[in-house]
Structure 1
């Protein structure tokens, strides 16, 4: 365990200047436990530490002989009063960590019991009229603040500060009308504000609750999904074991939602992105631009319910992509390029592979296209996909023989998302061919009849048929000849979703080399087919005539440090396609709240003093300010370590080549309070002496 963690805890809880704890740390560093040679910070278990030091803490005074029985003393003039005081505080520190962990575990245990009681009573209310009840009752909740609100009716049960309201409602119309259905009652909820709640809904199967799902609810409106859900069988509610990982995840996700409390600054930036499509967050280093970009993405994807990226579900995170530019990054990484591959015969070759941005845009495009389709079209496409999946799963690759119209035999050797690979043994010139899966899918989805190869060519608006059309037709006819039973599941119309691409350090890459012809396509005024372009390798595509475009649901966030030497070379054509938003060092101070009130206050004081001095240097300005994210390192470092290991090297780089570098660094160190002033320094009042 780090001494810095203890130091931060001490400063945060005792309200004492950070330097006052150094006397305890100095004493710790000069002793080791005599029985096992461990240093003080190597004993991290509160109970173990208590057994070791409690006898010393119970003594009157600080007798040296007693301390030497427990510790190996490595310093002659050690102050045993400091050691004793420090040991007491360190024990309190370890116990506070243990208490916090115990409190969290208790919250999980109580939440597990709440869900179990809720599930039991919900099932009774549904299945047994004689056991229906409007309340869970007080039994089992003796450790919790509890009351029953009869007017609604609601149970109010408090767990770790969260007031959970349980609505059971008994009556002849209790629960879903059908035995298998989701329902609004019963539910568990907690209030975000007067007009918004977060609810746990239930789903019944054969009158049994089988799953929970978390939704947002506003009076007078429909539920809004959060993608937080859990199967009852995965929660292990009815065992005596400790809460499992699934239950803890449900509790953490459920109680972490901050609907309506999204950072106002994040919301404003999200609105700017939605109206401008492309923004760049620029400013001094350490202002949290990358983290802010993730917050903006989370705010937009969650529809403003939260800005914590970690709360997004795995499915929602597919709507975000992150990349960091660097000098060697190029078009082939970003858009598309030729990559080496090993052929089936062992020889080396090249194949065209999509870059990260192209793959991301394809996901967004699928969502955009699907959101424009009718329910009937979606159901038809789903049916065709099931038919194709069933067909290829029953094919024995390399064994089952197919024939084209002229009688040439061929085999299907493999199938992936894009291609159907076939072998044509009777063709001595080209015995391998790769067919486009989408072409076959489009033929099956159409209402046209294909009797000849020329029908296929006409369908794809080609003057001449390609070699592949003969084999497309053969597979099409084989699928049509087989009777495949597909499911009758009703398809759901897909919602249009936002997709956010984050480019960190966007100015460190050679922009024109990376984006190429996409300068036009990313322009906010040319989204969709109006901005479509042919990419550099379009002649190698399955369909060379198909152009690249960026749909309207794609948003781009770039980040850049203003002082980077590459800023001046940022492409002007790209500049006018982005909205530049400055993030100043003093606008992100809320990041330091996690340090605790006392440490936060000291960090802000030093940061502001340092930035003021930076602005006083003639050749520097606010672009060179130090951002708050540097000071987040104080959770594991001291102010002195932060200076020597991070800030001092950065500042030295700022002023390299200036006149009187040493004098400037002394000014920086002075306003930062490095080295810290010593208590009782004999020179304290020199300036005031006559």
Structure 2
């Protein structure tokens, strides 16, 4: 194996060597047993290219130096997209996933710090970086068990109550894998900038466009994007001209709709009309844990007439950042959003530097860094039930942007879904719990397996 192998598209070589009893038939090198490097091959054409290169190297003495065969540990793509660490109990499989996940998710940090030594201090630093990446939602950890299902892993229906109305809803909520895939997709569909110097003078608000628990939110959001405004559902089509405080807003509201009993309806209209100023920023939420866009308010409040729905209260905006897939709220804010339609975000919790990057950088972010999902005890779950139709999408050649990219329509949300190429899956498997032969064959075919044997010297 030489440098040419590492340049083959569709070949993913593990950075960690693996022992195997099959290597005993090879002669020892400098008194040491031979090692192998697990590799994932996308298709038959890639395998032919590998064989061709290896045959050519058999007579090339310039490629016999073992210093040349080490995979580049700085490049996360040298790791298989899907791999399983397997072995008997107590061999450090779960322990090893922390190191492996940081290597993949943040190779630059790992190159500078993570490989210095195996000391306790170094391990503590590695674990601290791992925890940071978990908080940033670039690494997720889950454990499979007999009760774990598709609804936990991909998406499912949840019963929730609306705190504003008290009504019970059944929204579709994303599971751990779908959430990670959304985080890994940073495609921007609209991007404009503002002066970074002016950010300190602006208030930042969270705003919902429609009820995120129904299809209404998508329809309202699309309308707002097409017309460069944001819409408030409270207030119906009442004209609030001249209503410059809460009492006048409430009086006008009740004149138009005497049956309105919710105090929040009056407060929402008053905030939208009188407290949100031109130049303020609106973070458009997608549920309580994600946001989908950032906009700058550019116009005064106005009432739209002759609309078929009840979204009539409007403010013109400039869309600064609109994402193809919504982003985790942790990128911008130190806590989850509430379900209030409109409220000011606390400066103490707002990640101002990150917000500044998003709205003042000329070139939008188009790709995300590597994201890692760790599945502990992967063989204890019902693989067919958990992965469902997505098992095919795990293949490198079926990932988004690949030559044979595939997508599926999810059964609950009806969304088109594909797996990004920067999502890595690491599983652990205890061979004493269930043998490798019993593991779902569809999963075995799509994962690289790395054996972890007991180390008597540790």
Provide the TM-score with structure 1 as the length reference.
Answer: 0.32
| Greater relative CO, 1 or 2 (CA 8 Å, sep 6+) | 2
TM-score normalised by length of structure 2: 0.47
